[in-house]
A and B are shown apart, each in its own frame.
Chain A
Amino acid sequence: MKRALPPLVVLVTVLGAWTFVSYGVLSPRRRFLLPPVDEVVRVGFLDPENRAELVAGLALTTRVAGTGLLISAVLGIGLAVVMAQSRWLERAVYPYVVVLQTIPVLALVPLFGFWFGFGFPSRVLVCVLLSLFPLVANTLFGIRSVPKAQHQLFDLHRAGRWTRLWKLQLPAALPALFTGLRIAAGGSVIGAVVGDFFFRQGEPGLGVLIDNYRAQLASARMFAAVVLASGLGIAVFLVFGALARWAVGRWHESADG
């Protein structure tokens, strides 16, 4: 409770300033620039029809981000494991993973629409592109961080590739892997919202809703959608943070054969 108090003070201050600007600074005609908090809540969240639309958008965006993250996790951890098997493979593949991180991925997004249509698959692909790199890089770093003497211990017992991977490298990589997962999850949410801006067609996710409300000057609902998108990002951050603490803090037992 003591630790929750300082950020709570800041939150109340910000909400207070927001309300002051809406009612005190902006004239009623220009109030749409920053609709007051109570209006955002009333129009965005309490009106059943608007709420249904926002919740459907949130559900879609969550599903897109989740699917993208899942694919990235499988692909990213898989790639890292493959690259860890040989320096040659790492040299062959890693540059392209880095390229993925350095090019402006969002510039490619219209291209995906062009190739794969404007539906679910394209949106998921944007999430994958934004979340793959941190997973590959962190997992590989984790696997490579195993001290030489621990490898020698496994050498001494003539451990095979899989045994070494399963009992030594992957458990050792877990903390780094979870760090990567946390960063990737944030990237995936961003991808799901931003991807929407390019895919106006099809079912509306939060990004589409934000853009539609903006076009309609429905600013209370737009703010509600922004709040939901932010909330999703924060929730993902907290969930994966807790997951990481659990993985590193407890040093939970590696899978027993």
Chain B
Amino acid sequence: MQLALKNVTKRYGKNVALDGLTVTFTAGIYGILGANGAGKSTMMNLITDNIARDGGSITFDGHEILEMGSDFRAMLGYMPQQQGVYGEMTVESFVTYMGRLKGIHGKKLSEQVADVLTLTNLYDVRHKKIGGFSGGMKQRVLLAQALLGDPNVLILDEPTAGLDPKERVRIRGFIEELAHDRIVLLATHIVSDIESIANEVMLLKEGKLIRMSPPEELIASIPETWEPVAYRLSLEDVYMYYLGG
């Protein structure tokens, strides 16, 4: 399983959002780091074919994804950054609807809906309208729909934003489990999420790939003279110790 971007370019007028990006993903978790406007969401939107690229190719197992069309999308799970949901739908309706759009039917759909709702801790609120949910709850609804259909490529844009630390750790662990036999692209500003689960981290700056290595290699690559680094327990550890159960 291989997802390859070759010389992918995207411009918005005179601004270059992605500048000849070449990168290959195989099964595993890829953390994508970059400042705002670095090109993270643009890269994800190009892979999901939500925006048109200006050059280059994106292939999955050697096939151009545009040629594959719905065959590629059948293997795709996408959780966008914006919390776009139908506020009047209940959780179950929304996830079932997305399941239909993924081409899942009948008993299989009901089972998968129940599974993903349990995984994302939404089963007990499945008959409530999404419109009344907090940001973190909506985030879990979006994650649940992305997980439907056992996707080979899972694209998660800020999946843990708005979640409480306990839930974040739970989701993080779950994503880690998923990654054994699929490609997971994870864009986030919460560095600790990536640090703990990503096999490799991509550093994007102004549309260019600066570096792509495992987290420990990236940490090791920082010269000691740059800034004194000392390990200390984070607040997250404190939360988990006292409140995490």
**Is A bound to B?**
no
B interface, CB within 8 angstroms of A: none
Which residues of A are interface residues toward B (Cβ below 8 A)? none
